[in-house]
Structure 1
């Protein structure tokens, strides 16, 4: 028996592979890094642009919501003021004058006490509207007021009283207080109407 020889195929060609030059490797690596940097920068720019677009969208939505809220608040304010105006005008036209008439005697008594301390022997002259006399006189008589003398003066309002003691004079003007409140309410609603017209 004859021994067979094993024959193996050779894969090597006669040419040896060339090793890349050091400069070529560096150039390829640099080109790869440049491509990576360029891709990274493009991705970063896209992310920034997407974020800016989202922020712009959120700002726009927030602005719209605030505008709608402001409009709703403005409408609600107009309705509330429209409902309050007649009530406040009734209060200043009816309720406050009635309260002023009822409290006039107490206010006069408070104003009288310090005046009477200076000249205890002389009576304090109380000038008032005839319509207010009964209320004021009843309170002064029962309230431990200093000596007083009532003089009716039709030119005074029902909420006005002048107190005189010697050369000293003091005015109680609840009518003026009511007028000041009425003027403040009128001014408030006029300002509100102008703001509504401008808005």
Structure 2
């Protein structure tokens, strides 16, 4: 038996296999494909980075707006709570005094408006008991027609009826004040409810 099978055969070692030649056109085409693939990958990365940055900015902006909204509502609630006592004083003391002081002048303004075109009709003012003197003092304007001031014990202070011929108007300062008080109370209540329950 021979040992030839254990030894390497160098008999075919001299043969060189030809290298496949690549044409210039094929080489240019492969370069162009590589460039396009690289450009597309770079573009995709850029678009992805831009989308991530935009998403991050949007999330940050949304958080900032939410914080700002919360701060605004907190400040608004504190402001309303601090103004509530002032509203109470305004509707219980200042407005009633101011309305009482201008009651007669308001009547004169209404009568002047009602008397236009009614020069031959008497003007009749009916007020609550004890208010006739103040109304007469406010009637310092000379009307060309007769003005009668009467008191009615059933009328509340700040309430008056004005009549010129067939026209009649009611002035009710007390009802107006009550309406203002109710509006202020409802506003304060609503703000407190919104602050507590959102």
Unaligned runs of 5+ in 1: 1-17
CA contact (8 A) 1:127 1:152 kept: yes
> What is residue 94 of structure 1 aligned with on the other side?
93
Greater shift, 46-55 or 172-181, is seen at 172-181
Q: Deviations over 1:60-102 (max 9, x none)?
A: 1111111111111111111111111221222122111111111
1:118 counterpart SS class = coil
Distance 2:147 2:57 in 1: 76
Normalised TM-score (structure 1): 0.77
2:132 counterpart SS class = helix
> What is residue 138 of structure 2 aligned with on the other side?
139
2:69 counterpart SS class = helix
> What is residue 161 of structure 1 aligned with on the other side?
160
Q: Deviations over 1:124-155 (max 9, x none)?
A: 33211124233212222x33355333322232
Unaligned runs of 5+ in 2: 1-17
Normalised TM-score (structure 2): 0.77
CA root-mean-square deviation: 2.6
CA contact (8 A) 1:92 1:181 kept: yes
Counterpart mapping for 1:98-177 below 5 A: 98-113=97-112, 114-115=114-115, 118=118, 120=120, 122=122, 124-140=123-139, 142-145=140-143, 146-177=145-176
Greater shift, 157-166 or 56-65, is seen at 157-166
